[in-house]
Amino acid sequence: MKTHYSSAILPILTLFVFLSINPSHGSGIAVYWGQNGNEGTLSDTCATGNYNYVLVSFLTTFGNGQTPVLNLAGHCDPSSNGCTGLSTDITSCQNQGIKVLLSLGGASGSYSLVSTDDADQVAAYLWNNYLGGQSDSRPLGSAVLDGIDFDIESGSDNYWGDLATALKNYSQSVLVSAAPQCPYPDAHLDLAIATGIFDYVWVQFYNNEQCEYVTDDANLLSAWNQWTSSQANVVFLGLPASTDAASSGYISPDVLISQVLPSIKASSKYGGVMLWSKYYDNGYSSAIKDSV
């Protein structure tokens, strides 16, 4: 049977087909949680309704034959299985539509990858202990995290792309994100991001005066345009949530909303704002969430 459509219906059908083939990504706020015991529970963090992504930080030791170490500061002690109760919190967050990822690395820690085989071994550990695999010693309990975040701030830039690829090979549903510094290209994650495999790239536009907001947004926008021209699929503006959260780069909510967001939201790769961190977010996310 051949169906005939009126000329008034055809533009609507064309738009529907376009949206079906080209799904857009929604914007939102990502936040790092886990490095201060006074920042509230993971469950309370998600219950604010301010965040779309929560990055549990950090797995500080892994790779090169090292026994992996999870460091959640004052929240719990994984060495005595004291963090398995977070499974309930993680599930609560996910039931609200919030993606929960484990963040690797951080500014301090003992981590490195020395070969593709090393990357494969770390991927197997992450899959079995935090993602969809099976292990008798899952540090965060039985909950299955949504993905893995790469906050790699030291060491070589080799093999991180291999790790991300190995994680995706277990399941394409595993989210992988990266948190490079704003100077482009990033010293540690450039090769990995160039693969185009990362779902989200939240660029740290702080602690780097050459590419952050100082007295205006010129340097920030210049760097932003470099990042959105890269192989990064979805780019977030990473910011400190208060003046105490970083040595430089803080942008007040009103300046962010009136001056910066209108410019960067013009990019089709714009994904939202990433904040460091939950501990420092005392009203910042509430002030910006309706504009993000």
- Catalytic residue numbers, as ranges: 153
Contact 3, 247 (CB under 8 A): no
As a whole number of angstroms, the distance between CA 253 and CA 273 comes to: 12
- Compute φ and ψ for 202, nearest 5 degrees: -100, 105
Q: How far apart are CA 175 and CA 83, in angstroms?
A: 22
Token pair listed for 235: 């780019």
Q: How far apart are the first and last CA of the chain?
A: 46
Backbone angles phi, psi at 20, to 5 degrees: -70, -35
Over the Cα atoms of the chain, what is R_g? 20
* Residues 107 and 153 sit within 8 Å (Cβ to Cβ): yes
CA 208 – CA 134 distance, rounded (Å): 41
If one counts every other C-beta atom within 10 angstroms of the C-beta of residue 262, the result is 10
Rounded Cα distance between 259 and 27, Å, is: 18
Cβ-Cβ contacts under 8 Å for 33 (sequence gap 6 or more): 39, 42, 45, 54, 55, 56, 57, 277, 278
Least Cα distance to 278 among 26, 104, 112, 46 occurs for 46
Length of the chain: 292
